[in-house]
Structure formats: structure tokens, C-alpha cells
Homo-oligomer: A and B are copies of this chain.
């Protein structure tokens, strides 16, 4: 089959590799029908995720059709349409027993396109398929579902739920690329009074408003002044970091009110400064997290009830053979206006 293979920092190719097959009784193999690219894939290509080895097939977000299952698989049979989640989970370790699947101790967690071959390919092997692949209703389209492989549950669990967004809150989202936009979309489920988007790109701020932010802080504006003007000078209830660099994290800790929460979603490559000399007295809560995907079934349900409209997030569509071009478009959002790009089997 063909797959998008990482060749070391800066190197990738859409090339022939051996077909995947069942290794463990809990595995399933899928034909990939729809797949997308994550900002994390760009980090890998940038060399920022050194545990990914050259030769690895990338990708951790796909929808596919089951073509084979191991002898221990209970819930899936060939022909099932499934969402391949970014997180694999044994279901048995102390973390999995408390729904903290992202921290699985038995060979789970973020495996696909990281420690094992991923889904940017014609076929893919999914470990622990019973827990990690979600059967799809015929009412759910591939393109909607594929956004629930990572970006939606990540923004919801790690941003919105960790940040304890509540009705009437003022929520700041720092960085409104795809993950920040998904945070805006899912924050709205809790009816905050204000969602304030902060970004350097005017086009992203426009998108943020379409996704539900009511206030956009432009590069020249003072975020604190804007936030103070709608919070009686107190600061935001929740700040969601969706960039992954020290400056934006530090900005978040400066924007919240006493008793506020900073929910970090960003993937960081270097340390940040924590201003404890200001924060020690302010009753703040700072959270980090890899997604656990416990919310995926609930989010899938919301697609079907029409509560979540994720379609506006997809700006470009390609065939699988156009993977290199798709990467180029996705990697250059300033030039292309790309949010999420999807690739469909044709």
C-alpha cells in the first residue's frame, strides 16, 4: 500500500510500504477512507518529537472501514465503518480504569503515527480496537467524524472541561488555529457570556467570530484592557492556551482573575516562566493534558443531533495521492487560509 512516511526532520514521502496486518488479538485493520493532518504532524516533521523514528507512517486521525480483526475483538467485524481515535487504550491499567485513556500504561496512549505506524495511509492497524475505534452511525459523515479523532475531544476535554467553563463565564482562547476554533465551538456548549479570541492573524480572528467568539483581540490591541472592560477589571474566568509557546502560556496566566483557570492545550517544546510571585496569592488553577477521548461518544452523539457543526472547519479536500500537496496547504495557513484539510479515498 501507499503511506505518508516520515523520513527524519523535514523529510516525508507518499510511498509504498508493506500492508499492515493483525499482530495482537485485539487489533483491527482498516481501509482508510478519510484522513486529516494535525498540527502535531508538522511538529514531528520539524523534528520536535524525537521519539518518532524515521520510517514511521504518520497520522492519528482517520475514518475507515474494518477489513480484518484479531481473535480477541468483540465489538467490530469487517465492513464496520469506524472512527480511528488518536488514543489507543488497553482498558485494564489503573489509568484506563478511570477513563484516563491517554495515560494508558500498557502500550496505549498516543500510539498511532507516534510509536507505531499511523493512519495517513491506504490501510492502518488499530491496536486495542474495541476501545479505541468507534463504530459510526450511518447518519454521521466521514468528514464530520474525522474531526472527532483528535481535535474536538482535545479541545473539549483538555480546554473546556479542564478549564471548567461555566454559564456566564468569560473565556479567552489564545491562538485560534484549528484547535483554538474547536475550543470556541465546544466552549459554547456551556453558554459562557463572552468568548474572546486572541491571535496574530486577522483571518483567524475572522474565523473565530464565525465559530462563536464574540470579541476578537487584534495584534495591536491590549488583551488585558479588552478583558478588563467586560469583567469589571477582574480578568477572565478561563484562559485556554492553544498555541504551545512560552509567550502565549505566560499571557494566559496574566489574563485570568483570582480564582480563574488556565487550561493548556498547546504542545510545548520548551519551558515557560510561571510568575508565582504574582500567582501564589491568586487561587489559580493550571491544567495540562493529553486528550483521554472519554468524551468521543458524547461528541459523536452531538453530531447526530446537530448540536455540533464541525463542517465549517474543513477548508480543503484532496485525494490520498495528493498527500504531499495537502501537507503544503496545511503548513501554510497564512497563504492558503487552511483550517483543516481532509483527504478522501476515491
Which positions in A face B, CB cutoff 8 Å? 25-26, 71-72, 74-75, 90-92, 94-95, 97-100, 102-103, 106, 110, 130-131, 167-168, 188-191, 193-194, 244, 246, 249, 258-259, 264, 266-277, 279-290, 292, 294, 297-299, 301-302, 305, 307
Answer whether A259 and B99 are a contact pair too, CB < 8 Å, given A268-B280, A276-B268, A307-B193. Answer: no
Answer whether A282 and B288 are a contact pair too, CB < 8 Å, given A25-B71, A95-B258, A307-B168. Answer: yes
Contact B280 A264 (CB under 8 A): yes
Contact B283 A289 (CB under 8 A): yes
Give chain B nearest CB distance to A184 CB in angstroms.
14
Give chain B nearest CB distance to A288 CB in angstroms.
5
- Hey, which chain B residues are within 8 Å of A91, CB to CB? 91-92, 131
Q: Select one of B99, B246, B283, B297 contacting A288, CB under 8 A.
A: B283
Answer whether A287 and B284 are a contact pair too, CB < 8 Å, given A258-B95, A294-B98. Answer: yes
Answer whether A281 and B290 are a contact pair too, CB < 8 Å, given A94-B297, A95-B258, A302-B168. Answer: yes
Q: In chain B, what residue has the closest Cβ to A267?
A: B280
Contact A273 B273 (CB under 8 A): yes
- Hey, which chain B residues are within 8 Å of A280, CB to CB? 244, 264, 266-268, 288-290
Please, could you name 7 A-B residue pairs with CB atoms under 8 Å apart, sorted by A? A167-B189, A168-B307, A193-B305, A268-B277, A270-B276, A271-B276, A273-B274
Give chain B nearest CB distance to A49 CB in angstroms.
11
Q: Select one of B249, B266, B276 contacting A264, CB under 8 A.
A: B276
Contact B190 A92 (CB under 8 A): no
Answer whether A249 and B267 are a contact pair too, CB < 8 Å, given A95-B259, A290-B283. Answer: no
